[in-house]
Amino acid sequence: MTQLRQRMLEELQRRNYSTGTIRLYLQHVAAFAQHFHRSPDQLGAEEIRRYQLFLIQQKKLAWSSYKQIVCALRFFYAKTLKRPFMLEDIPFPRHEQRLPLILSKDEVERILTAPSHLKTRALLMTVYSTGLRRSEVARLRVSDIDSARMTITVDGKGKKDRVVMLSPVLLDTLRQYWRQAKPKHWLFPGETPDQPISGNDVFAVFHNAVRRAGITKHVSPHSLRHSFATHLLESGVDLRTIQLLLGHRSLKTTARYLHVSQYQVRATASPLDSLNLSKKPSEK
């Protein structure tokens, strides 16, 4: 490992970045350097501009992937090289305002009942009943389930723990699953029992269930999280509570579910309804 890479690693560790983020940031900066066959500390604003255009025009990266690379480069120049003035030359892409895709309760039911394996059903039920992210459900431990208090402790994004409710229906399914599989540490272990299930495996079992359920929408495991939030909102749960359950830093992030809640849309009266239009128009 070069001294520069070691320094970036240490700066990331000092700020308590997750292991996954550290790995990705190091990979992105290394790919940037390899593109120009030079050490990244010898690359400046012009190389950054050309690399960003390469990612957009030739690689045609998804904006989410592109944004992650931008974050890595901004961290490298501002924190590792101590050149904060470079941030002006590493612009963020404009945020795409896309509404999350929501599954109906019927569609969720079809997905959750589609798996033939109890472990898969228990995993997908856990995602929907708690609104967990894919990485969060993968890292659940058996000890995180508190049946006495009916809660689940979640190792959340950014290493921020939070507590969510434990559904009695989910608890019953988890007990059946535990009696059958006897997981010891990780609630949903991977192929190696001492390791948790991978995020890619969560993705795969979800899409297998979607296919078996006959759902044709372009959905992902995150769609269960979106549906959890929207269905809570439609049942009358307030935004602040949903924010805490989802682990959102900002209420603005949670508020987007107001835009996708059909209940809220249907319950909102049009201003047309307040007008007196009893006078009929002339037929001439």
Active-site residue 28, yes or no? no
CATH code linked to domain 105-267: 1.10.443.10
Average pLDDT over residues 253-270: 64
Does residue 149 have an active-site annotation? no
Report the pLDDT value the prediction gives residue 168, as an integer from 0 to 100: 93
* CA distance to 90, 175, 209, per residue, from 45 (Å): 8, 57, 47
Residue 272 has pLDDT above 60, yes or no: no
Residue 162 is a catalytic residue: no
Sign, CA torsion 50/51/56/58: positive
Contact 193, 128 (CB under 8 A): no
Residues of the chain above pLDDT 70, percent: 88
Structure-derived torsion over alpha carbons of residues 69, 72, 76, 78, reported in degrees to the nearest 10:
100
**Per-residue model confidence (pLDDT) at position 75:** 96
- Is 257 annotated as catalytic? yes
**In angstroms, rounded to a whole number, what is the distance separating the alpha carbons of residues 39 and 29?**
10
- The position carrying tokens 């201003």 is 271
Q: For the structural domain made of 3-89, what CATH number should be given? A: 1.10.150.130
Whole-number percent of the chain with pLDDT over 90: 63
Please determine whether the domains at 3-89 and 105-267 fall in the same fold group of CATH.
no
Is position 225 annotated as part of the catalytic site?
A: yes
Which one from 121, 134, 225, 226 is the annotated catalytic residue? 225
Count other C-beta atoms under 10 Å from residue 181's C-beta: 16
Catalytic residue, from 133, 134, 226, 231: name it: 133
51 noted as active-site residue: no
Confidence of residue 9 (pLDDT cuts 50, 70, 90): very high
Query: For 56-82, what is each residue's pLDDT tens digit?
Result: 999 988 888 899 999 999 999 999 999
From CA 153, how far away is CA 142, in angstroms rounded? 10
Reading the block at residue 47, the tokens are: 């190389």
Which of 157, 207, 212, 256 is catalytic? The answer is 157
Which one of the listed residues 35, 79, 222, 256 is annotated catalytic? 222
How far, in Å, CA of 139 to CA of 245, rounded?
A: 17
Confidence check: pLDDT of 234 > 90 = no
Quote the pLDDT of residue 270: 60
CB 254 within 8 A of CB 229: yes
List Cα–Cα distances, 276 to 236, 267, 279, 280, 281, in angstroms: 32, 21, 8, 11, 13
Residues 6+ apart with CB under 8 A from 254: 229, 239, 242, 243, 246, 248
What confidence score (pLDDT) does residue 280 get? 55
155-192 per-position pLDDT tens digit = 877 667 899 999 999 999 999 999 999 999 999 999 88
In the chain, domain spans: 3-89, 105-267
Summarize pLDDT for 35-50 with one digit per residue, the tens: 999 999 999 999 999 9
Q: Which two tokens stand for residue 49?
A: 């501009």
pLDDT attached to residue 109: 94
Structure tokens at 140: 């659940």
